[in-house]
Structure 1
């Protein structure tokens, strides 16, 4: 009998890296993504890869494919964040409170990063024929010997041996599987991602920079992070990105629609930084407005990944099980660890077997919970966010269909 495929909901970085793991192990799989293509939506800010994240990616891709991936990553000198006062343009040092002691290097003494879009494209190589676009998974049903994904139009997938949800913070599969125990909170803080030609960054020099403005906006703190890579500085085909964030209620997208892209986001970014120094202003004066996009800060319960009754045929990876704030860069690195772990267990077993998802979830809960707690703690101190009784629940409740 032909082996039933592993069904994967979502085509984000965790889902596509798991697909690569299954492809390499010659285990059949299908990926279902609600978007119409890989370039359907804005790809978000640049991701910094930790030693653990790089190790996980290397374990999945193997030596040759990993080298190609690593060659596509940007490498920046410096051990951690350098701080620039956005109002004076002064480079700060010593024990200034905005200078982070966080170590950012991961390999060869360099800070390694890559855009989310490039990462997805590289992970998907060789998997294209198994990706089904415009397939929005909204639920699942168990069969006598497998599982089927249920799509938004009411149709169902072929029978699979296992369903893995890697479809983000609003995963319907996660809500059903955990019976609402996985809770994701909207922390009320919004940000803006932008891009500008490399020439706009020349006055900064090489490094990963953090700017913090605590005085010019009465509503609260505004901060910016960017990465200047000297090897790409003179390439006219490259644009560097920056990420602007703020305390809750400082950045307000029109109609609270954070999916808006383009000029509305660019205009707010320029307004919030109008008083910033001429050393920094080129990042906004020369920005590619059409690439501007809002993002919101969400986080799973900082108490960690909850326990739920294990379902052998269904499990979760990435933001679907442990959503994190951008503080500390934990989210993507933890997501690829999920893919590497689950992919290894499936490869060692030659496909699905009883007890496999329980083994995966037991190990994932340990490092996943630690990462969520660390991410929330850093966001609490950096962004001024707080989960309390008034915090809006983005995802959690689950009501079984009639």
Structure 2
């Protein structure tokens, strides 16, 4: 087995959650790596939302970080009681239970939460930006900012990343494409079989001081407005009681709307700030007073639009394996926010690939094939489940004629 000093580095494209967690795993195993990111710094796209971590996601993060770093991560997470996801009527402010959309509310089910499950009887969550900072810590000197990977070039004994300006990286033992739904590496390695569809549904992320959430109380909440003539709109948020009295802290909420409900000016979803905040306020102006502080007190500069995308609903497709190149996270399985499984599946990818590399002491023949075989199983199940829930919640439909991103 070659020593770290003589090993070619693992090349990683993109500095998202899965890529950075993989980097942490490699750092812990003393396997050299280089990470390339098109943005200029970690703060370039700071807007985001709070992620709910499943039991599987937490297990993956713990296995990748190891006990000491995981404890730091765990301490940064919020732990919310309240029993699970509780749906509320946006107009009346009442609990509405979890019956199928076409059926009336069973009085015995009214107000019962949808179980989410994390650890210690709590729903565990963390802001995406905070999670990214924690995964970045310790990897700083191995990250190359302002490097936009647009493909790769195989060599007789490795692989090189190709950048937008035509230059190439140093030779690596493996290239891992983790640059999200627009991944050029994913398109190249799968010969176009990996596709990400634009569902037409859109959303807005927002933040407000924790005191604005007092009317909700502790819990994970889904506030639903199905009275609009052009389609349903809702927000999801969680409220931790220990922080709700501190006006210096913020909680986030994530808004989603059926296709055509949320529209950015000029269809430009890179716009952030007041335009997004104004649309969120307009969509919720008739909501119950219980929810109004979330929008009246929102930090307008933190508002951001987002597109809701989804990979092929049937699951992760098969492609001819390339021993020196593979993909992780949204690059291989983009999911709707329904069910909250996207980020949890991405960190499972990072933990799995990191474990295989650590056990082998670096790249070896057959490693990417083993990773892809196992990843396809859990990721395909997650994509199918996420799409099924989104079809019911968002009213989206994907077929071979749907637009791709």
- 8 Å Cα contact 2:199/2:259 also seen in 1: yes
Give the 3 Å change call, closer, same or farther, for CA 391–271 of structure 1 in structure 2.
Answer: same
Match of 2:352 among 334, 341, 349: 341
SS at match of 1:200: helix
Which residue is 2:195 aligned to? 183
Which residue is 1:8 aligned to? 12
Which residue is 2:244 aligned to? 233
SS at match of 2:157: coil
1:389 Cα deviation after fit = 4.5
CA distance in 1, matches of 2:317, 2:83: 35
Q: Describe how 1:78-227 pairs up with structure 2 within 5 A.
A: 78-93=82-97, 95=99, 96=105, 102-215=114-227, 217-227=228-238
Task: Please say which of residues 92-101 and 262-271 is displaced more in the overlay.
Answer: 92-101
1:66 Cα deviation after fit = 0.5
Q: Does 1:273 align with 2:284?
A: yes
Post-superposition Cα deviations, 1:62-119, rounded to whole Å, max 9, x if no partner, equal: 1111011001000100222112211112233485389686321210000000011111
**Unmatched runs of 5 consecutive residues or more in structure 2:** 100-104
CA distance in 1, matches of 2:209, 2:383: 34
SS at match of 2:326: strand
The root-mean-square deviation of aligned C-alpha atoms, in Å, is: 1.4
CA distance in 2, matches of 1:93, 1:254: 35
Q: Does 1:255 align with 2:259?
A: no
CA distance in 2, matches of 1:299, 1:179: 19
Post-superposition Cα deviations, 1:154-179, rounded to whole Å, max 9, x if no partner, equal: 11100000000000001000000001
Q: TM-score, normalised by structure 1?
A: 0.95
- 8 Å Cα contact 2:272/2:304 also seen in 1: yes
1:234 Cα deviation after fit = 2.1
1:143 Cα deviation after fit = 0.5
Q: Does 1:298 align with 2:309?
A: yes
Post-superposition Cα deviations, 1:170-219, rounded to whole Å, max 9, x if no partner, equal: 1000000001001110000000110111111111110111111111x211
- 8 Å Cα contact 1:169/1:323 also seen in 2: yes
- 8 Å Cα contact 2:47/2:304 also seen in 1: no
Q: Describe how 1:57-68 pairs up with structure 2 within 5 A.
A: 57-68=61-72
Which residue is 2:394 aligned to? 383
Match of 1:360 among 363, 366, 371: 371
Task: Please say which of residues 235-244 and 261-270 is displaced more in the overlay.
Answer: 235-244
SS at match of 2:182: coil
- 8 Å Cα contact 1:33/1:135 also seen in 2: yes
- Count matched residues: 393
Which residue is 1:308 aligned to? 319
Post-superposition Cα deviations, 1:46-75, rounded to whole Å, max 9, x if no partner, equal: 110000000000001111110110010001
**Unmatched runs of 5 consecutive residues or more in structure 1:** 395-402
CA distance in 1, matches of 2:265, 2:119: 41
Post-superposition Cα deviations, 1:109-148, rounded to whole Å, max 9, x if no partner, equal: 0000001111111111111100000100001000010000
Task: Please say which of residues 190-199 and 101-110 is displaced more in the overlay.
Answer: 101-110
